[in-house]
Amino acid sequence: MLFHGLDWRRAPQTAQQMFEVFPIVRDLHELLWYLTEALAFQAARQLHGELGLALEKTEHLTQSSPAALMELDMVAHRQEVNTLLQRTSELVRAGVRQKKDHRGADLIGARLQYADLRGANLRGAYLIGADLRGANLNMADLTGADFRDADLRGADLTRSIFLIQSQLDAAKGDAATKLPSSLTRPLHW
CATH classification at residue 149: 2.160.20.80
Range of the domain at 31: 12-93
Is residue 1 in some structural domain?
no
The residue out of 93, 124, 140 marking a domain boundary is 93
Residue 60 Cα distances to 2, 18, 19, 66, angstroms: 13, 19, 21, 13
Within this chain, do residues 137 and 71 fall inside the same structural domain, yes or no? no
The residue out of 61, 93, 125 marking a domain boundary is 93
In sequence order, which residues have a C-beta less than 8 Å from that of residue 107 and are 6 or more positions away?
125, 126, 127, 130
pLDDT of amino acid 5: 59
Is residue 133 in some structural domain?
yes
The residue out of 93, 111, 126 marking a domain boundary is 93
Within this chain, do residues 108 and 164 fall inside the same structural domain, yes or no? yes
Residue 150 Cα distances to 54, 129, 137, angstroms: 32, 4, 13
Within this chain, do residues 108 and 87 fall inside the same structural domain, yes or no? no
3-class DSSP state of 93 = helix
Within this chain, do residues 150 and 80 fall inside the same structural domain, yes or no? no
Is residue 7 in some structural domain?
no
Give the separation between CA 32 and CA 77, rounded to whole angstroms: 12
Q: Check residue 168 and report its DSSP letter.
A: H
Within this chain, do residues 87 and 144 fall inside the same structural domain, yes or no? no
pTM of the model: 0.89
pLDDT of amino acid 6: 65
pLDDT tens per residue across span 12-28? 666 777 788 999 999 99
The total number of structural domains in the chain stands at: 2
Is residue 112 in some structural domain?
yes
Give the separation between CA 6 and CA 13, rounded to whole angstroms: 10
Within this chain, do residues 120 and 76 fall inside the same structural domain, yes or no? no
Is residue 59 in some structural domain?
yes
DSSP letters along 99-166, please?
--B-TT-B-TT-B-TT-B-TT-B-TT-B-TT-B-TT-B-TT-B-TT-B-TT-B-TT-B-TT-BS--HH
Fill in the amino acid letter for 42: Q
Give the separation between CA 14 and CA 7, rounded to whole angstroms: 8
Is residue 163 in some structural domain?
yes
pLDDT tens per residue across span 27-67? 999 999 999 999 999 999 999 999 999 999 999 999 999 88
Is residue 2 in some structural domain?
no
